[in-house]
């Protein structure tokens, strides 16, 4: 070669390297959505970038400090199922999905079909407005607004029940008509003024979880906790947490 001349760069190696890089499969979570004849692929990213930097095509689904993005252990999930109010703490569509999956996990091939589970309503076995027909464990009545002085013996009982009534152990899927029909009825009663009790109605349901509930002679805080233990096992089996090294 003559001085001042340079050989043309060999781009073969860099091109091949670039092609190999492009062919590496991505592990970014994604979802494919088809509407009519048009299909789009959406990718999900976890980032600490501010939402002000979002591009027009970006949708921010959740904002939180990056150190809060973690998977709970099985033990923490079990505690949450037993003690935490779930109704009202998460979107109802998500809660219906969880209850539907738990119903499917409880069923066997011999159980009758039960319809579209994700269209079911969420039933509180111990009703949201329970004061009229549901006594406290001490046998006392609670006022309709649940308000009592802090030194009233019923205060702590009411506080515990108000949390447990929204916990997973007290929730079950039910048809919209069944949900409206049962309302605030007592769990079990011999009062002729009631045409049916919650226990009778749930026992005749096609849903396996409702039949399981109806097998209990009573329904109070202890029954809710016992069912929560059972559901916690199913939740962990369906969605196991990471293995802690």
How much is the pLDDT for 220? 96
Mean pLDDT by 10 residues, the chain (245 residues): 48 46 51 68 64 65 59 89 93 92 90 79 95 94 94 95 96 89 88 86 92 96 97 94 67
3-state SS assignment for residue 168: helix
- Which two tokens mark 86? 């779930």
> Across the chain, how many H-helices and E-strands are there?
8, 4
How much is the pLDDT for 87? 95
3-state SS assignment for residue 218: coil
Contacts of residue 166, defined as CB under 8 A and 6 or more positions apart, other chains included, come to 85, 86, 87, 88, 89, 124
The residue with tokens 């998460």 is 90
């Amino acid at each position: 070669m003559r001085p001042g001349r340079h050989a043309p760069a060999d781009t073969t190696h860099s091109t091949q390297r670039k092609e190999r890089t492009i062919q590496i499969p991505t592990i970014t979570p994604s979802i494919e959505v088809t509407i009519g004849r048009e299909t789009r692929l959406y990718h999900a990213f976890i980032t600490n970038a501010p939402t002000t930097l979002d591009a027009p095509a970006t949708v921010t689904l959740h904002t939180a400090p990056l150190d809060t993005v973690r998977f709970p252990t099985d033990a923490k999930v079990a505690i949450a199922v037993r003690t935490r109010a779930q109704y009202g703490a998460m979107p109802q569509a998500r809660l219906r999905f969880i209850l539907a999956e738990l119903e499917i996990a409880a069923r066997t091939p011999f159980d009758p079909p039960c319809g579209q589970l994700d269209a079911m309503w969420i039933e509180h076995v111990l009703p949201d407005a329970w004061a009229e027909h549901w006594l406290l464990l001490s046998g006392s009545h609670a006022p309709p607004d649940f308000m009592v002085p802090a030194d009233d013996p019923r205060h702590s009982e009411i506080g515990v029940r108000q949390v447990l009534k929204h916990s997973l152990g007290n929730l079950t899927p039910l048809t919209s008509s069944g949900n409206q029909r049962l309302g605030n009825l007592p769990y079990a009663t011999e009062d002729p003024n009631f045409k049916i009790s919650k226990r009778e109605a749930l026992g005749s349901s096609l849903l396996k979880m409702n039949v399981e509930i109806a097998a209990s002679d009573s329904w109070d805080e202890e029954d809710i906790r016992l069912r929560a233990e059972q559901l916690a096992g199913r939740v962990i089996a369906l969605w196991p947490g990471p293995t802690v090294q």
